[in-house]
Amino acid sequence: MDEADEREIEKLKRDRKRAEKKDNLKEVAQLCNCIGELLAKHGKWEEAIAEHETELGLSEALNDTIGSAVASRKLGECYCGLENYGKALQLQQRHLSLAVACKDTLEEQRAWATIGRTYLFMCDTTKNHDELLSVSKKAEDAFRKSLDVCEQLKSSTKISDYMEMKARLFLNLGLVFDGRGDLKQCAEFMKQAIKISEQHNLHCDLYRCHFSLSGIYSKGGNLKQASQQLDSALKCAQKLKDKFLESETLTSKALVSLSGHLDSLLAQLAIASTICKVTAKYISFVIHVSMQLKKYSHAKHYLKKAHKLGATTAEEAERIVKLFKSGKHIAILAVASKARVYFVFNDPALFSRVGVRVVEVGSYEYVANVSVSSVSNDWLILEDLFT
């Protein structure tokens, strides 16, 4: 959690104490809502649940039906974050029932959208094919119902709010069809979401569109397009001045930079072990390994920037460390592979006397021990890995 949000939570807690002394329970409930939202933003689900349960209890005591509905929605989102989808849906259905009972169209729209998101998350953990299709259909139905309710709000809602709702629903429907492998329908909904977000300067929603598209391209093996989408997402995060989103994007760029390179290197190593002294093969292999080193350098740059932002959750920080270590192994493997090839081709002008311990096909071994007259820049890269 960044310092700004920590300070904000402390301020809200002080405000809550003052409200408690004045016995202003409605304000206390509202402050619990704000504190819970900030905690949930940083993945502190259990702490957020405690805040929203207090909010719900106070709202019920005050006979505040909409307050109870909102608290139920927030609790559902927290349980969804904990992947307790049954509990999440139970609370979200309560939110929907209360919203309908109060004839609050805005909360009804939010309820259907939240239910759809929960079913969408369930798709990621559902393995059975028939069950997956059923859950996916429930997500689509919920989003379409939310769209229908959204149209009822058109005349009574600010145009920017109305368009924001539509953009998010189109994005979510695009993700539903991506999960089914229906790329044509996915692309149609994504285009609509991006068009609306661009026309109405909805930078947060535009960020989500580009970030989601990067995942779709990456999953399909189109890493260049994935990286371009992340570049666009990063611009949106910077416009929003949101360090958390910047960190998330930079970490994803590092992952895209590293994706697939280790398998490629291991395949090249197999070739290197039996390589013959043919110049074309020699040059091709060295160029390939050099490219992997460059990609690692890019990945390392993104990870360092993400770390410096200091806006990551504990899980995200752990992910950055794991990615960095993974990239380090790839780079060490690449440098050692070049050492082996240079040794095979008796090219002593490129490496000094070195002994490198590297990761190679799951085992550790000394690879290079070559006497030469000058130092290669690659070994400087290797030294930099441990700084």
pLDDT of residue 361: 30
Is residue 373, in this structure, part of any structural domain at all? Answer: yes
CATH code of the domain covering residue 117: 1.25.40.10
Give whichever of 274-288, 301-315, 367-381 has the largest mean pLDDT.
301-315
- Does a structural domain hold residue 121? yes
pLDDT at position 312 is 52
What value does the mean pLDDT take over residues 50-70? 96
Structural domain includes residue 365: yes
Do 373 and 281 lie in one domain? The reply is yes
Same domain, 120 and 210: yes
The torsion region of residue 346 among left (phi > 0), alpha (psi -120 to 50) and beta comes to left
**Overall domain count for the chain:** 3
256 touches 214 (CB < 8 A): yes
pLDDT attached to residue 315:
59
Q: Percent of the chain, pLDDT > 90?
A: 51
User: Is 112 a member of any domain?
Assistant: yes
Tell me, yes or no, whether 9 and 89 share the same domain: yes
Domain boundary among the residues 70, 103, 136 is at 103
Looking at residue 269, its pLDDT comes to 42
Evaluate whether residue 362 is within a structural domain. yes
Band the pLDDT of 383: cuts 50, 70, 90: very low
Determine, yes or no, domain membership for 256: no
How do residues 264-296 score in pLDDT, each as one tens digit?
544 444 444 444 333 444 334 444 444 444 555
Rounded to the nearest angstrom, the gap between the alpha carbon of residue 166 and the centroid of all alpha carbons in its chain is 22
Compute the distance between CA of residue 174 and CA of residue 182 in angstroms, rounded to an integer. Answer: 9
The answer on 170 and 124 residing in a single domain is yes
Mean pLDDT of the chain: 76
Boundary (domain end) residue, out of 77, 103, 129: 103
Pick the last residue of a domain from 103, 119, 139: 103
Per-residue pLDDT band for 243 (boundaries 50, 70, 90) equals confident
Looking at per-residue pLDDT, the higher value among 370 and 194 belongs to 194
pTM of the model: 0.70
113 part of a folded domain: yes
CA distance 42 to 9: 12
Check whether residue 163 and residue 284 sit in a common domain: no
Residue 3 confidence class, pLDDT cut points 50, 70, 90? confident
pLDDT of residue 303: 53
Q: Do 232 and 110 share a structural domain?
A: yes
Statement to judge: residues 108 and 235 lie in one domain: yes
Owning domain of residue 19: 1-103
For range 167-188, the mean pLDDT: 92
Instruction: Please enumerate in sequence order all residues whose Cβ is within 8 A of that of 240, keeping only pairs 6 or more positions apart, or say none.
Output: 203, 204, 207
Q: pLDDT higher for 307 or 37? A: 37
Is residue 254 domain-resident?
no
222 and 112 within one domain: yes
| 6 and 55 belong to one structural domain | yes
The three-state secondary structure class of 261 is helix
Statement to judge: residues 271 and 235 lie in one domain: no
Residue 239: is its pLDDT beyond 60? yes
Are residues 198 and 116 located together in one domain of the fold? yes
The tens digit of pLDDT for each residue in 338-352 reads 444 444 344 444 333
Q: Which of 87, 89, 81 is nearest to 47 (CA)?
A: 81
Which residue matches tokens 């949106």? 236
48 with 111, same domain: the answer is no
pLDDT band at 133 (very low <50, low <70, confident <90, very high): very high
Q: Are 320 and 248 contacting, i.e. CB atoms less than 8 angstroms apart?
A: no
**Model pLDDT, residue 217:** 86
Most confident by average pLDDT, 27-31, 241-245, 275-279, 316-320:
27-31
Q: pLDDT at position 244, please?
A: 77
pLDDT digits (tens, 9 = 90+) for 205-225: 999 999 999 888 888 878 788
